[in-house]
Amino acid sequence: MSTIFVLVAKRLGLGLVTMIVISVLIFVGVEALPGDLATAILGQEATPETVAAFRRELKLDLPPHVRYFAWLGDFLRGDLGTSLSNKRPVAEMIVWRFSNTIFLAAAAAVIAVPVSIILGILAALYRNSLFDRTVSMATLSTISFPEFFIAYILIALLSVQLVIFPSISNINDQMSFWQKIHAIVLPCLTLTMIVVAHMMRQTRAAIINILASPFIEMARLKGIKRMRVIILHAFPNALSPVINVVTINLAFLVVGVVIVEVVFVYPGLGQLFVDSVAARDIPVVQASGLIFAAVYLGLNLLADVLSIITNPRLRNPK
C-alpha cells in the first residue's frame, strides 16, 4: 500500500510542476502578442494620459514577472479578474459556461463509454470476422475526419434534410433537462463519433493481448464459453489500458470541444475562449486556458492513478 502512495505522490508532484510550466507558457504567450493591449482596446484616438491610466489599471506598467506572480496568486485565491469586454467578473462568466461544457461532455461520455467498450468486447470476441472488419473500418473512418466535417455532415442530414434536431445548440437555465438534451444531440453525436473509435480500438487491442495469456488458455481447456472467458477473465485484466484511454478521451471531451462548440454556437467555455481571443479579452483568455489545462492535466493524473491501482506490474516495476 505504501508503494501506491509513493507512486501517486510522484505523479501528483509531476502534475503540479507541469501545471506551473503551463501557467508560465500561457502568460508568456499572451505577453508575446503583437501590439499594445491598452492602445488596441482604447483605440488610436485615445490620449496618452488615458492610455497610461488604463495601463496602470491593468498593471501593465509593472515588470512581467511581478504581473505573473500577481495573476497566479489571484487565480489560486479564486479571483480571475474582470473582463475587459463587458466589465463583468471573469469567474461569473466562466462558471456558467464551464458548467455547459461539462454538461455536453457528460452527455457524450454517457453514450460513448459503454458503446465503445461493448463494441471493443464484441470485436475481440468475433476477431477477424465481418463484424470486426466493419466496426474497425467505421471507427477508422470517423477518426480520420476532423470534428467540423462530421458536425457539418450531421447538420446537413439531421437539421437541413430531415429537420429533426436544431443546428444551433443554444441552451439556457430556463430550459428543462430534456429540452437541453434535445438541443445538444448533434454536438453530442459529433463528440461521440470522434472518441468511440479511440476507446473501442484500445479495448479490442487490450482484450486480444490478454487472450494470449496462459490463464486464458487454461480457461478454454476447462471448456468455459468464449464469451464468459472474455467478460469474466480477459476484460477485468485489460482494465488498466482501457481505463487509461477512457479517462484521456474524457479529458478530450472537456478540453477538445472548442471546435464543436463554435460550429454549433454552443454557449460553453470553448466558445467563450474563441470570442475572448477575437475581442482580445486577456483576463478571460488566460483564465479559460488555465482552466482547460488544469482539467486536462487532472484527468490525465486520474488515468495514471487508476492505472497504478488496477495494474500490479506498475506498482512493482522490478
Tens-place pLDDT, residues 27-79? 888 777 766 666 666 666 667 777 677 677 767 777 878 888 888 888 888 77
Does some domain include residue 111? yes
Q: What is the dihedral of CA 70, 71, 74, 79, to 10 degrees?
A: 140
Cell of 289: 486556458
Does some domain include residue 157? yes
Does some domain include residue 47? no
CA distances from 166 to 97, 108, 184, 187 (A): 20, 17, 8, 10
Does some domain include residue 89? no
- Residue 272 CB partners (closer than 8 Å, separation 6+): 93, 94, 97, 284, 288
Distance CA 257, CA 261 (A): 6
Does some domain include residue 301? no
In contact, 8 and 308? CB cutoff 8 Å: yes
Cell of 99: 458548467
In contact, 291 and 307? CB cutoff 8 Å: no
- Residue 238 CB partners (closer than 8 Å, separation 6+): 203, 206, 207, 209, 210
Distance CA 76, CA 80 (A): 9
Does some domain include residue 94? no
Residue 197 sits in a domain whose CATH number is: 1.10.3720.10
For the chain of 318 residues, list the mean pLDDT of each consecutive stretch of 10.
Answer: 72 85 85 67 67 71 80 81 80 88 90 89 84 85 84 89 86 87 90 86 83 76 77 76 82 83 89 83 85 86 76 58
Query: What is the reported pLDDT for 168?
Result: 87
In contact, 291 and 269? CB cutoff 8 Å: yes
Distance CA 271, CA 191 (A): 16
Q: Based on the structure, what is the number of domains in the chain?
A: 1
Domain that holds residue 204: 99-280
Distance CA 88, CA 93 (A): 7
State in Å, rounded, how far the first CA of the chain is from the last one. Answer: 16
DSSP 180-192: HHHHTHHHHHHHH
Does some domain include residue 88? no
Question: Model confidence over 274-294: pLDDT tens digits?
Answer: 888 877 788 888 888 888 888
Query: What is the reported pLDDT for 293?
Result: 87
Does some domain include residue 292? no
